[in-house]
């Protein structure tokens, strides 16, 4: 799980019925104190208990799809949705600024005017790189909690699950 992936995921096939598997996971979640969960039909969100949670704490989103005689469980590890939104909108704003600076700078260049504004492009690229490094650092800060969630899931299912 220590890769360049921003949101590690897995796909796991289990014999049985969707409702039974959802209920099994819900019951196991009630008997432990490390995690909190939210349930919707076909979805379970597993989060770190608020007393152990920090800014970079991950969550696990499980989706359940019933097929003939088995259930496909998809798991997606990711940050708190607020953290995800901050990074997403940060990248969007940086991209829009880069486009604006590039158009402005190359317009000035075509008019044979000074293009000092183009120095903004490397600055914006540096800010994007810093954001990426911060995201990787945050992922490392939450890695142990992600491992704990993954082992909790594997103990419930009684099977080894490979993360993509």
| pLDDT (mean) for 92-117 | 95
What total of structural domains would you count in the chain?
Answer: 1
Place 1 in a pLDDT band, splitting at 50, 70 and 90.
very low
In percent, the amount of the chain with pLDDT more than 70 equals 96
- Alpha-carbon distances, residue 142 vs 36, 84, 86 (angstroms): 16, 14, 17
pLDDT at 5: 66
Return the pLDDT at 46.
95
DSSP 3-state assignment of 51?
Answer: coil
Please give the pLDDT value at position 164: 81
Looking up residue 141, the CATH number of its domain turns out to be: 3.30.530
Is 57 within 8 Å of 47 (Cβ atoms)?
yes
pLDDT at 139: 87
Q: Which two tokens stand for residue 152?
A: 């909790």
Residue 142 has pLDDT above 50, yes or no: yes
pTM of the model: 0.80
- For residue 154, what are the domain limits? 1-164
Angle at which helices 143-157 and 18-30 cross, to 10°: 120
Which residues have a Cβ under 8 Å from the Cβ of 20 and sit 6 or more positions away?
Answer: none
């Amino acid at each position: 799980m220590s890769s360049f992936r921003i949101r590690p995921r897995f796909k796991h096939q289990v014999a049985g019925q969707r409702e039974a598997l959802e209920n099994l996971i819900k019951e196991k979640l009630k008997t432990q104190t490390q995690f909190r969960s939210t349930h919707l039909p076909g979805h379970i969100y597993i989060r770190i208990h608020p007393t152990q949670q920090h800014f970079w704490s991950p969550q696990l989103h499980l989706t359940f799809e019933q097929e003939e005689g088995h259930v496909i469980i998809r798991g997606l590890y990711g940050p708190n949705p607020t953290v995800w939104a901050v990074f997403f909108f940060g990248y969007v704003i940086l991209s829009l600024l880069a486009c604006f600076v590039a158009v402005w700078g190359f317009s000035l260049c075509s008019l044979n005017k000074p293009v000092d504004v183009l120095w903004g492009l490397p600055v914006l690229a540096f800010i994007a790189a810093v954001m990426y490094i911060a995201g990787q650092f945050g992922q490392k800060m939450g890695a142990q909690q992600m491992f704990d969630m993954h082992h909790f899931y594997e103990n419930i299912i009684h099977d080894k699950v490979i993360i993509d």
